[in-house]
Structure formats: structure tokens, C-alpha cells
Amino acid sequence: AQKVTQAQTEISVVEKEDVTLDCVYETRDTTYYLFWYKQPPSGELVFLIRRNSFDEQNEISGRYSWNFQKSTSSFNFTITASQVVDSAVYFCALPRGWGSGGYNKLIFGAGTRLAVHP
Amino acid sequence: NAGVTQTPKFRILKIGQSMTLQCTQDMNHNYMYWYRQDPGMGLKLIYYSVGAGITDKGEVPNGYNVSRSTTEDFPLRLELAAPSQTSVYFCASSSILLAGGGNEQFFGPGTRLTVL
């Protein structure tokens, strides 16, 4: 079955620390995408990144980086030199996929609440 | 380009009342979705639509109804509100499906609903 697990419920760090948010997934599909979304205290969901299962290269965007490893079914998100503005809930998501309700429907993990203190 | 807009932002209902949450997108997206987010939880899909006139149930459809008469609008109707429907409701949209489900979903700002 399709499943997304974010085992870290809450993480608290001090500004400028590096922090990694874990995402482990289960899928029956051979081709799939994975997503990360950010939900700041204001409440809206903001798309951060989409990765295709064909591409296991790490992705870096400024202070954000993503490590995708099919061998361990993980898609982890690292924030380098964290800032107070990074405080938010972060969600990992996976399409339901073939035979599980369709590719247009996402399964979200429970989210990891990150608090960055000055 | 406003993206996905939702109204109202906040609402308090009494048990048994009904209401409609409005959602409009101006990106000409075929796919639209309604999610609910309970405190400390991820999002759960209520209903979705793949185009005007076509809707289907998600994971938690009981107590809700939807319609999609236009590409732009996807209202969510709550009939006979119950305390269990206290939640934050998000509408989202995405473009025509990429192979393997690679379409990002664009979310509205959410509606915070309390049923007392």
C-alpha cells in the first residue's frame, strides 16, 4: 500500500543549526514522484520540491537540500544554517498511484513541526 | 493571477447547520481537490474533481457534498454540521496529470471551521 511516514513529530533547533527532516515512503509503483510542502504559521501550504523516482541526484536550492534514496525508500530534507523564518510544519507527499486511487491524489505524511529559536 | 482563493476564512457553525465553502482557481486547472486538516495531522482528501461535471469521493467524504459546474469553481457543501467536522479546509488545484503523478498542487489559504 502507499504510505508516507514522517517519524519526527517536532524538532526544535537554535538558529544557524543544520536540521534534517526525515521522510520514508512505501509504494508499489516503479515510477513515482515525491513532494515536500511547507506550512508556515500563517497556514497556507507552499510547494517546495518535486522529485521523480528516476532521478536520485541530490537537489540543492539555497539553504535547502534533498536526499532521495530509492534503496531505503527515503526522501529527506535538510535545512542548512536554519533561520527563524524556517519555522513551519513540513509535509512529505506521494501520489496514490496505480491501483490505489490514482496518480492525481496525494498521500500526505503527518508532518514535522520545526521550531527554530533565535 | 490570484491562484486558488477560498471563502470564508473563518466560520463558526452550530450543530445541524449547513454551509458552503467556496473555492475558485484562475489557472485553468482541470483537477481540483478538497482536503481537511485536523490539529497536528496531515491532510486528508474529502472529494476531488478531474474536470467540470466530474467529481469523486476521497478518503473522508461522509457529511460533505461537492459540485463542479465550471472549470474555475469547486464548492464544498456541509450538510448538518457536526463537531467532528471542526477542521481547517483546504482547496487545491493542479494541471493535467503528468505521467506518474508529477503535478504539484496549488493550495488556497484555507478555511478554519468550528462546529459548536
pLDDT-derived band at A14, boundaries 50, 70, 90:
very high
* A41, three cell numbers: 504559521
Could you give the C-alpha distances from A71 to A24, A27, A68, A92, in angstroms and in order? 11, 12, 9, 18
Work out how many CB contacts closer than 8 A connect A with B: 70
Report yes or no: A72 and A54 within 8 Å, Cβ to Cβ.
no
A44 in reach of chain B (CB within 8 A): yes
Lowest mean pLDDT among A53-62, A82-91, B52-61: A53-62
Comparing A97 with A71, which gets the higher pLDDT?
Answer: A71
A54 in reach of chain B (CB within 8 A): no
pLDDT-derived band at A103, boundaries 50, 70, 90:
low
Comparing B99 with A9, which gets the higher pLDDT?
Answer: A9
The span from the CA of B25 to the CA of B106, in Å, is 9
Per-residue pLDDT at A2 exceeds 90: no
Report yes or no: A39 and A88 within 8 Å, Cβ to Cβ.
yes
Per-residue pLDDT at A99 exceeds 60: no
Kindly determine whether residue A33 and residue B101, on different chains, have CB atoms separated by under 8 Å: yes
- CB < 8 Å to B109, chain A: 43-44
Residue in B44, B45, B97 closest to A103 by CB? B97
**So what's the pLDDT on residue B100?**
59
Residue of chain A whose alpha carbon sits nearest to that of B41: A110
Give residue-wise pLDDT tens across range A15-45.
999 999 999 999 888 888 899 999 999 989 9
Q: Mean pLDDT, chain A, as a whole number?
A: 90
**So what's the pLDDT on residue A55?**
81
Give residue-wise pLDDT tens across range B102-112.
778 899 999 99
DSSP for B32-62? EEEEEE-TT--EEEEEEEEETTEEEE-S--T
For residue B13, the SS3 value is strand
Lowest mean pLDDT among A72-81, A98-107, B9-18, B19-28: A98-107
Kindly determine whether residue B45 and residue A106, on different chains, have CB atoms separated by under 8 Å: yes
Residue in B102, B108, B112 closest to A33 by CB? B102
Residue B112 makes CB contacts below 8 A (sequence gap 6+) with A43, B9, B10, B11, B88
Per-residue pLDDT at A98 exceeds 70: no
**So what's the pLDDT on residue A60?**
86
Give residue-wise pLDDT tens across range B57-92.
998 999 999 999 999 999 999 989 999 999 999 999
What is the separation, in whole angstroms, between the first and last Cα of chain A? 41
Comparing A102 with B4, which gets the higher pLDDT?
Answer: B4
- CB < 8 Å to A8, chain B: none
- CB < 8 Å to B40, chain A: 9, 110-111
Return the closest-CA partner of residue B116 out of B11, B1, B41: B11
- CB < 8 Å to B43, chain A: 45, 91, 106, 108
Kindly determine whether residue B42 and residue A111, on different chains, have CB atoms separated by under 8 Å: yes
The span from the CA of B70 to the CA of B68, in Å, is 6
Per-residue pLDDT at A101 exceeds 60: no
A108 in reach of chain B (CB within 8 A): yes
A109 in reach of chain B (CB within 8 A): yes
The span from the CA of B111 to the CA of B64, in Å, is 15
Report yes or no: A83 and A25 within 8 Å, Cβ to Cβ.
no
